[in-house]
Structure 1
């Protein structure tokens, strides 16, 4: 029986090449895994994920978190103004109660007491009036301070033309926990103050 001779040096060299190939492949896989994890971490900080408009999980739509927060801030201010300044004799208590969830309690109570002492709500009830607010334009700085301008329209049942006013106010937003539906955007208005409320005169 013939014995097959093997060149041990060639075999060791071949094994050495295989080992190096495995090590290099493992290294590349590890580097790729680290890079993928880092990219996922970066994207987690930059983006939030939302279900697509057709209610499918995939593909996911990426929305920049900063843009979403800007939308939330403007929506919070708008929601407060719409609840506090838009109502009629039947729903004003409910709407103001909703508005007070969106503002610092002391500031909200002071603003409500001011209008109550001015007889604004009693006048609205007696005259069966309604009030709306529109064209709400909040502007923010880098510290979440804001200035907002909006148009208020008061409709008296005995008047042909409604009275319109331009409201200018300022305040600051503080981020809090979301509490749907009472505080869906997760902010609280601080230091709110009406700066001017000027009637728009017909020329």
Structure 2
């Protein structure tokens, strides 16, 4: 009878397996570290890009990013854009957009201007557009009225707004001489797309005659030539 010899199977070399596992672990650690560092770099790049951008709104309501630079001229552009954005939401009104624009205006201002806006609201400033059917108010900053000072600290802006109130065929014109002070804050789109909070606000609103064609042509010419405002 043939005897079968028992075969002894030798297990794997534990030290060799540990060396393989050691290399695998280090490979996973290296890949994970590279992935984390890459994600961190991308996050920092996105954050840096967002803090070095300003935004403007075109006529279609689209958000347009612009490079933020430190020159005084570019700061003035941002200040003017912020003031114009406020004017469009505070003065340029109709019954369909009034709620949205009032909310946008309040996001741009501090405690003192908020009190003024709410006081005007209590006196019926906004109610007219809801109670008078078809009432529309258009507003535009007069391009030759800009006066800006202290732009490197808390900028002060003086300008005049031509307000046109239309109700059917009836047209009335007003001039609002506006003074405001701004404080630099973090950009917060869509609530504060230019990064400036209006901390002080005053207006002197008077009724004026309809602008003549010559006056309108002069304002259009100034607007086309992009004449810079007075800076102190």
Partner of 2:171: 162
Partner of 1:12: none
In the alignment, the residues of structure 2 paired with residue 63 and residue 171 of structure 1 have an alpha-carbon distance, to the nearest angstrom, of 23
Task: Kindly state the Cα deviation for residue 62 of structure 1 after the two structures are TM-superposed.
Answer: 10
Which structure has the higher relative contact order (CA within 8 Å, separation 6+)? 2
RMSD of aligned residue pairs (Cα, Å): 2.6
Partner of 1:7: none
What secondary structure sits across from 1:172 in the alignment?
A: strand
What secondary structure sits across from 1:153 in the alignment?
A: strand
**Residue pairs, 1:104-143, within 5 angstroms:** 104=110, 106-128=111-133, 129-136=135-142, 137-142=145-150
Give the unaligned 5+ runs of structure 2. 1-51, 54-66, 213-232
Q: Kindly tell me the number of residue pairs found equivalent between the two proteins.
A: 142
Partner of 1:191: 200
- Please report the TM-score for the alignment, with normalisation by the length of structure 2: 0.55
Among candidates 91, 96, 100, match of residue 102 of structure 2? 96
Among candidates 160, 163, 185, match of residue 149 of structure 1? 160
In the alignment, the residues of structure 2 paired with residue 84 and residue 179 of structure 1 have an alpha-carbon distance, to the nearest angstrom, of 19
Change (3 A) 1:170 1:62: closer
In the alignment, the residues of structure 2 paired with residue 119 and residue 62 of structure 1 have an alpha-carbon distance, to the nearest angstrom, of 39
**Residue pairs, 1:1-203, within 5 angstroms:** 65-104=71-110, 106-128=111-133, 129-136=135-142, 137-142=145-150, 144-157=155-168, 160-194=169-203, 196-201=204-209
